[in-house]
């Protein structure tokens, strides 16, 4: 039975494990952190190597809220490479060059259509799982891109999408150790503000739910016990989402860009008794987009 506490609190918290389906260790961490820890939700990569294992696990956990983790970078596409030649290589893999890919998606009409086609294919793949769609977000936060986000809004309506993660993480004082770090994080937040503000405006216009606060952007890959201990007591009222990348161990084919990620430490943090005590002490209500 998943851990619950703080019902009817003003501080509501979604705890999400991203990259569900990427590997068996990731899938194990998500399922175990939900059953033994504080994880309430997960985001499924529908074309990932171990997606079938992830789906099977999710169907055994009716209280686990599963969303779609759209992949348009650093991963595999649903459509054949011949259908989206400007987005993937011959093996159907998206580029990890986010800036150049983003420019093409913004200015090239043909590429825009390919983006729409792939997004629809991923929604279709999620629908085929038979799981209820709890939320939508994107790998590497690619849904910050206006072309991608507009396509998600347009296409998501056809699949019952009613919640989206907005990666608008304000610098939290309890997580800042130096003036330099404070400046860097504030600059990063300010740089993304036009994109996150646009997202919120469009979501409100379309009556789609989103988080008030989010944590995981500045410390991605390092949401360990110490980080959670510093975040949780400082949660503000509203709907917060903490997202992590937990795994029970390493696996073949880990993205070189994630070689320093603390996958196992994040998993252990999710099931640590100290975290449960903090959540209870500060009357934090664990929830999901569905329940919020």
Question: What tens digit of pLDDT does each residue of 108-120 get?
Answer: 999 999 999 999 9
Strands 238-244 and 213-215: parallel
Q: Quick one: average pLDDT of 189-217? A: 96
Specify burial of residue 194 (Cβ count, 10 A radius: 0-12, 13-18, 19+). exposed
pLDDT of residue 172: 75
pLDDT of residue 122: 99
Residue 26 has pLDDT above 70, yes or no: yes
Q: Quick one: average pLDDT of 269-284? A: 98
Tell me the average pLDDT of the chain: 94
Q: Quick one: average pLDDT of 178-199? A: 89
Which position has the token pair 């949660």? 235
Spell out the alpha helix ranges (H) of the chain: 24-36, 51-59, 98-107, 109-129, 146-156, 179-205, 225-231, 263-270, 273-281
Residue 7 has pLDDT above 90, yes or no: no
Residue 2 has pLDDT above 70, yes or no: no
CA nearest to 75, candidates 216, 253, 248, 264: 253
Q: Quick one: average pLDDT of 183-208? A: 94
Residue 4 has pLDDT above 70, yes or no: no
The interaxial angle of helices 98-107 and 109-129, nearest 10 deg, is 110
Q: Quick one: average pLDDT of 278-286? A: 97
Q: CB-based contacts of 104: which residues, under 8 Å, 6+ apart?
A: 86, 111
Q: Quick one: average pLDDT of 254-280? A: 96
Residue 151 has pLDDT above 90, yes or no: yes
* Joined tokens for residue 195: 């994109």
Residue 219 or residue 171, greater confidence: 219
**For the chain, what percent of residues have pLDDT higher than 70?**
97
Express each pLDDT in 118-129 by its tens digit.
999 999 999 999
pLDDT of residue 1: 46
Q: Which CATH architecture has domain 11-286?
A: Alpha-Beta Barrel (3.20)
Calpha distance 67→71 (Å, rounded): 13
pLDDT of residue 171: 80
Range in 94-108, 155-169, 274-288 the model is least confident about:
94-108
Which position has the token pair 């074309």? 47
Q: Across the strands, what pairs with 241? A: 14, 214
């Amino acid at each position: 039975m998943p851990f619950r506490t703080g019902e009817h609190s003003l501080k509501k918290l979604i705890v999400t494990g991203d990259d569900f389906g990427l590997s068996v260790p990731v899938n194990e961490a998500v399922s175990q952190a939900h059953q033994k820890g504080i994880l309430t939700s997960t985001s499924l990569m529908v074309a990932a190597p171990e997606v079938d294992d992830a789906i099977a696990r999710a169907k055994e956990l009716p209280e686990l809220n599963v969303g779609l983790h759209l992949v348009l970078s650093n991963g595999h596409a649903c459509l054949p490479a011949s259908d989206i030649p400007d987005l993937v290589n011959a093996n159907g893999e998206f580029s990890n060059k986010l800036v150049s890919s983003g420019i093409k998606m913004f200015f090239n009409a043909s590429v825009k259509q390919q983006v729409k086609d792939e997004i629809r294919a991923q929604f279709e793949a999620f629908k085929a799982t038979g799981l209820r769609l709890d939320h939508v977000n994107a790998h590497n936060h690619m849904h910050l891109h206006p072309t991608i986000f507009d396509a998600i809004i347009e296409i998501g309506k056809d699949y019952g999408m009613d919640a989206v993660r907005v990666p608008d993480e304000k610098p939290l004082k309890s997580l800042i150790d130096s003036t330099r770090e404070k400046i860097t994080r504030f600059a990063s937040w300010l740089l993304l503000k036009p994109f996150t503000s646009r997202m919120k405006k469009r979501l409100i216009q379309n009556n789609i739910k989103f988080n008030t606060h989010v944590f995981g952007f500045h410390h991605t890959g390092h949401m360990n016990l110490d980080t959670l201990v510093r975040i949780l007591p400082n949660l503000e009222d509203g709907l917060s989402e903490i997202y992590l990348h937990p795994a029970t161990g390493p696996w073949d084919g880990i993205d070189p860009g994630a070689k320093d990620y603390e996958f196992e430490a994040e998993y252990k943090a999710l099931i640590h008794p100290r975290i449960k005590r903090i959540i209870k002490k500060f009357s934090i209500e664990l929830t999901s987009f569905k329940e919020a």
